[in-house]
Amino acid sequence: MPSPWFPKSCVTPLRGGPVLRWGIVAPGVIADYFATTVLANTDQRIVAVASRSAERGAAFAQRHGIERSHASYDQLFADPEVDIVYVAAPHSEHKALGLAAIAAGKHVLIEKPLALSAAEAEEITAAARAAGVLAAEAMWTRYLPQFDVLSQLFDRGDLGTIKLATADVGWQMGADAPPRFFDPAQGGGAALDMGVYGYWFAQFAVGRPERVRALGSLTNSGVDDQAVVVIAAADGRFASVTTSMAVTNSGLAAIHGTAGTARFLDPFVFPARFVIEVGDDSHEWHDTSGLAMRDGLAWQTSALADIIAQGLTDSPLHSLDDAISVLRTIDTVRSQLAVS
């Protein structure tokens, strides 16, 4: 068990709360992880799936016990039994599919990044607000218990004034990696795929950026291969984020304040342990849910069901404005690296 020194996690429980009927658009690898953990670990229902390939959609539905496989995305958007759409398509399709779901009156959870740019994210935001439906970026890491506990520690003042944060996010993409990682038209590159986690973490820790400086390299196809990015926020707070598709890095992160430090002992993107060091004292926290790696995708679904049940149309944990701000950082990084 975590040390009793820590505040209790106040995340929405995985079971026992409001239930949404989910429809999945674009059943690829991430959708497979999503469906597996949601059906195994929550009360949420997945009632429909749609794919550009009827065979692929039918196979996905059969594999996960989903009752309906639609022949087109539009059919799923029109399905009266679907409350919320999960968009798991490549980055380049996020805006169009998100807007289509919103136009059909559906709530929508869009895989990160919310769109290819801050401008596209602003279009999605405006449409959702006009329609009165919830739209959210699937920044599932924010919904993990560890970040609720950390947020409470910030509020409690255990670290003092936060001054510095660091984050490493990198997975080596070899010749057998999906082509989209290297395709400019599909939003390839480290910034949009790995960097979105690191830039979100920096924003969580030190606040929204005021200045961003990036150095890095490009692949032969013109997308960003890796980068070292320095972020300056208000009141003298700084963060550094490294991203890479060339190598796999530690995945670790830390937050430093005037009174103490929070250091992750495992990759922060997933359910992870962290330690708080204040003076000579050290306190270790770990997730007791039993969920590991991408099983953690489940937490965001129960949270969003509860948020919608409260009548809210924006996530108080990771708002649309938060997602837009992260994409502004990514826009700046990509521009400074001259990404295609």
CB hemisphere CA count around 74 (13 angstroms):
0
Q: Where are the beta strands (DSSP E) in the chain?
A: 21-25, 45-50, 68-70, 84-87, 107-110, 135-137, 162-170, 211-218, 224-232, 238-244, 253-257, 261-264, 274-278, 281-285
Q: Model pTM greater than 0.85?
A: yes
Domain 141-292+316-336 coded CATH 3.30.360.10: yes
Cis peptide before 113 (omega within 30 of 0): yes
- Spans of all domains in the chain: 21-139, 141-292+316-336
Q: Cβ(260)–Cβ(278) under 8 Å?
A: yes
Question: Which pLDDT score is estimated for 1?
Answer: 53
Question: Which pLDDT score is estimated for 175?
Answer: 81
| Residues 313, 305: Cα–Cα separation, whole Å | 11
For residue range 95-148, what is the model confidence (pLDDT) as tens digits? 999 999 999 999 999 999 999 999 999 999 999 999 999 999 999 999 999 999
Question: Which pLDDT score is estimated for 80?
Answer: 97
Sequential pLDDT tens for the chain (340 residues) = 556 789 999 999 999 999 999 999 999 999 999 999 999 999 999 999 999 999 999 999 999 999 999 999 999 999 999 999 999 999 999 999 999 999 999 999 999 999 999 999 999 999 999 999 999 999 999 999 999 999 999 999 999 999 999 999 999 998 888 899 999 999 999 999 999 999 999 999 999 999 999 999 999 999 999 999 999 999 999 999 999 999 999 999 999 999 999 999 999 999 999 999 999 999 999 999 999 999 999 999 999 999 999 999 999 999 999 999 999 999 999 999 999 8
Residues 6+ apart with CB under 8 A from 188: 180, 181, 182, 219, 221, 223
Q: Which of 195, 186, 262 is nearest to 226 (CA)?
A: 195
Domain 21-139 coded CATH 3.40.50.720: yes
For residue range 212-229, what is the model confidence (pLDDT) as tens digits? 999 999 999 999 999 999
CA dihedral over 99, 33, 305, 266, signed as positive or negative: negative
Structure tokens at 35: 């469906």
